[in-house]
Amino acid sequence: MPEIGTVRIRIPSRIRRGDVVRVRCLVIHPMEIVQRDKAGKPIEKNYHFINKVIMTYNAREVLQAETTQSMSENPFFSFAFKATEAGMLKITFLDTHGGKYEGTAEIKFS
Amino acid sequence: MRALGCLGVSAVLGAPGTALGQGNLGALQPEEKVDATLQRLFGSRPIKDGSGMIRLDMPLIAENGAVVPITIEVQSPMTPANYVRSVYIISDKNRRPMNAKFSLSPEIGAAVIGTNLRLGETTDVRAVVELNDGTLLMAKQEVKVTVGGCGG
């Protein structure tokens, strides 16, 4: 079992300049759901889940997401992006416990 | 179930000493009916039918509510003059209907978003799309959930 925060990013193996391509990413994370006591009242605690996803392309922010516990465990996302220049695509996941997990993919043109 | 019970007891014991702000229940999306969610997010702004422009790709029947794949594709040129600014995923019957908000920029070239949702029970799932001129569009689809995927 990979540890929390392992990020996997996949992009197509061949990209041409100007293509709109799909990037798929997955992060290993429990995405804790709200627990309830016997009376059905939610328990107050710092639930551990990813609440922000940021995608940058050569350090420019191109997409941001606010996520909740309604995302499945080990959340998966797929986004589009337009490959206009060679460089680095980075996806950062932030969680409610201050965790920061990053994955990068290098954009090269064939 | 037993594990959950234990956690419940320990949390109750810990509660008096726990300072406010230790937990983040208040920071979660509120538990509410979907009408309240729409009212809170969009106020009285009109939401138009966007089923011609928004393609929702998700299963009609989800055996496991813990992982329900969804893909939202909005037909938009994604130019700086005309693009999709945000996409909201809202599940009517989830206790906290507001699931996710994606803020897009024209640079991504296409408004396509895929993810996996947790659904508590059979529910309508809505995608509400906000264009850069402020227009709101919505498409929805019902998903039948055999085994619920969230306790929260």
Find, in chain B, the residue whose alpha carbon is nearest to that of A24: B114
CB contacts, 8 Å: A72 with chain B = 66-68, 116-118, 149
In a domain, A73, yes or no: yes
Q: What is the pLDDT of residue B24?
A: 74
Count of structural domains within chain A: 1
User: If you measure CA to CA, which chain B residue comes closest to A37?
Assistant: B8
Domain presence at residue A95: yes
- Domains with residue ranges and CATH for chain B: 30-147 (2.60.40.2470)
Encode A33-58: b = buried (16+ Cβ within 10 Å), e = exposed: bbbbbeeeebbbbbbbbbbebbbbbe
A18 within domain boundaries: yes
CB count, 10 Å around CB of B53?
Answer: 17
Distance (Å) of CA A27 to CA A71, B43, B50, B61: 12, 34, 31, 26
pLDDT of B151: 58
Does residue A45 belong to any structural domain of this protein?
Answer: yes
User: What is the C-alpha separation between A88 and A56, in angstroms, rounded?
Assistant: 8
ipTM of the complex as predicted? 0.93
Does the residue A2 lie in any domain?
A: no
The string of pLDDT tens digits covering residues B5-14 is 333 333 333 3
Q: Give whole-number Cα distances, A98 to A9, A77, A95, B30, B134, in Å.
A: 21, 21, 6, 21, 33
> Which chain B residues are closer than 8 Å to A80 by Cβ?
108-112
* Residue percentage of chain A with pLDDT more than 70: 99
Q: Do residue A38 and residue B7 have CB atoms under 8 angstroms apart? A: no
pLDDT of residue B137: 97
Could you list the mean pLDDT of each consecutive 10-residue stretch along chain A, which spans 110 residues? 87 93 95 89 91 95 95 95 94 95 92
Structural domain of A97 = 7-107
For B73-128, the pLDDT digits (tens) are: 999 999 999 999 999 999 999 999 999 999 999 999 999 999 999 999 999 999 99
Provide the CATH number for the domain around residue A71.
2.60.40.10
pLDDT attached to residue A40: 85
> Does the pLDDT at position B4 exceed 50?
no
* C-alpha–C-alpha distance, residues B41 and B61, integer Å: 28
